[in-house]
Amino acid sequence: MGMTPKDVVALAKAKGAKLVDYKFIDMPGIWQHKTVPIGEFDETVFVDGTGFDGSSIRGFQGIEESDMLLIPDPNTAIIDPFMAAPTLSMICNVVSPDKASYTRDARYVAQKAEAFLKATTFADTSYWGPEAEFFIFDDVRYDLTQNSAFYEVDSKEAIWNTGRDEGPNLGYKIRNKEGYLPVPPMDATHDIRSEMSMVLEELGIAVEAHHHEVATGGQAEIDMRFDTLTAMADKLMLFKYVVKNVARRNNKVATFMPKPLFGDNGSGMHVHQSLWKDGKPTFFDEKGYALLSQNALYYIGGLLKHASALLAITSPTVNSYKRLVPGYEAPVNIAFSARNRSAAIRIPMYSTNPKTKRIEFRPPDPGCNPYLAFAAMLMAGLDGIKNKIDPVTEGFGPLQVNIYEMSPEEKAKVKSVPGSLEGALEALRADHKFLLEGGVFTQDLLDTWIDYKYTNEIDAVRLRPHPMEFKLYFDI
């Protein structure tokens, strides 16, 4: 049973909260917050909300209609572990002054997607398990001016520091692509990942495991227990908040940027997903390929049919496409397979338990807005079931070979994901009707998303000279 407003007021009193923090997400996917003294907090805020200027939030309102409200969700109430004063924290939905739900509020989109699922005959619940990778660095510096540009990240465990005078340098630097599961002292970030995991557990987020990831320079992964769609998106936002703040209090910095290092693996967010009905898994069939039911295959067909458009939401940064290139375990091939990590969709085969049967969509990265990303993937999968999109008939596999090692003739038959954010956005512009079903996404939201990405990200990179261009062209 969930928390009630009365329960939250009692929690605040029991924990001696002095302040209340209201968190909400902007359109690109970054948490924002507003804080009030405890004397300004009572049960009425769960009905009346608390105001903010929507024109100052990315992707929201124009200045002529800027007044908006935050309505906190009592089920998200926690005591924030990072605030100096005892602070009650809640995640909010965004509404208009007349209390109408706001169609550009990503959390509302996720809630609509869950309602849409319940209205189908296929299933009533979806479960989501994102694996958000990240880097823990010791230092980051960057700057851009009219006549210069540079960036530099550093990590004591990185291979580029084998020759640095560290007074003394103790060695144990992780070679490129050899960071997966080494023990300390090679794994220099074990303790900080453990601290992150323990804070997550204290906040009610079940952690299944943590480990060093493939890349040098402090790449990490902490795996959370799966949950329903909106609840999992809430947890992922809290997860990122915890990871960044634990790193900060250890005088380190964590980033979920998909590709911060040249020449080594980027950070993805493989998303495990499954559908259930009446408390039973619908993706399992002991006689099916990889123990998958026909509806699971149709769901895969929907994801792959709409993959190019999906990436505009699930891999939504210019930097995402520095990760989605062959050679770094990146799932650039629109195909599915059991166990095969070179396909966009992998069917995990660790267990034959029907309750564990799920599919893993691998192109997303943690730079996405999780509410929009999960909702979009669900809508694509449901479109596959509704229209019986068979991934085999569509030519998406199954493929049991390493796609990267196929001959050019064989590989030519396998479609690839877009090579740029611009390509993904144009795919979304051409293929988005499946997202509009049931009013889950709106045309206004998608148009705003595409315009924002072009204006604020694609053009920002496209118009600026790159250091590599000086190396290639300065002598011409």
Q: What pLDDT does residue 64 have?
A: 76
- 331: preceding bond cis by omega (within 30 degrees): no
Q: What pLDDT does residue 63 have?
A: 76
Instruction: Give the residue ranges of the chain where pLDDT is below 70.
Output: 1, 327-328, 339-341, 402-404
Token output for 382: 């449901």
The span from the CA of 381 to the CA of 365, in Å, is: 18
pLDDT (tens digit per residue) in 290-321: 999 999 999 999 999 999 999 999 999 999 99
Which has the closest alpha carbon to 322: 433, 421, 200, 404?
A: 421
pLDDT (tens digit per residue) in 252-293: 999 999 999 999 999 999 999 999 999 999 999 999 989 999
CB 172 within 8 A of CB 188: yes
Residues 287 and 174 in one domain: yes
Which has the closest alpha carbon to 299: 399, 228, 386, 372?
A: 386
Last residue of a domain, one of 102, 134, 166: 102
CB 37 within 8 A of CB 18: yes
Residues 144 and 58 in one domain: no
Token output for 64: 């002529």
Residues 54 and 149 in one domain: no
Residues 78 and 205 in one domain: no
Residues 422 and 312 in one domain: yes
Q: What pLDDT does residue 403 have?
A: 65
- Residue 150, SS3 per DSSP: strand
Query: Tell me, what CATH number does 50's domain have?
Result: 3.10.20.70
* Structural domain count of the chain: 2
Range of 385's domain? 125-449
* Cα dihedral 390, 272, 381, 27 in deg (nearest 10): -150
Residues 246 and 148 in one domain: yes
Return the HEC string of 375-409.
HHHHHHHHHHHHCCCCCCCCCCCCCCCCHHHCCHH
Question: What is the DSSP secondary structure assignment for residue 72, as one 8-state letter?
Answer: E
Token output for 227: 């949950």
Residues 336 and 260 in one domain: yes
* Residue 45 exposure: Cα atoms within 13 Å on the Cβ side: 26
pLDDT (tens digit per residue) in 234-243: 999 999 999 9
Residues 73 and 169 in one domain: no
Q: What pLDDT does residue 404 have?
A: 64
pLDDT (tens digit per residue) in 178-233: 999 999 999 999 999 999 999 999 999 999 999 999 999 999 999 999 999 999 99
What residues are labeled active site?
53, 131, 133, 213, 221, 270, 341, 360, 362
Which has the closest alpha carbon to 12: 34, 46, 44, 41?
A: 41
Residues 137 and 98 in one domain: no
Dihedral (CA of 35, 225, 8, 195) sign = negative
For 73-218, list the strands marked E by DSSP. 78-79, 87-95, 125-137, 139-144, 149-154, 207-212
Residues 296 and 380 in one domain: yes
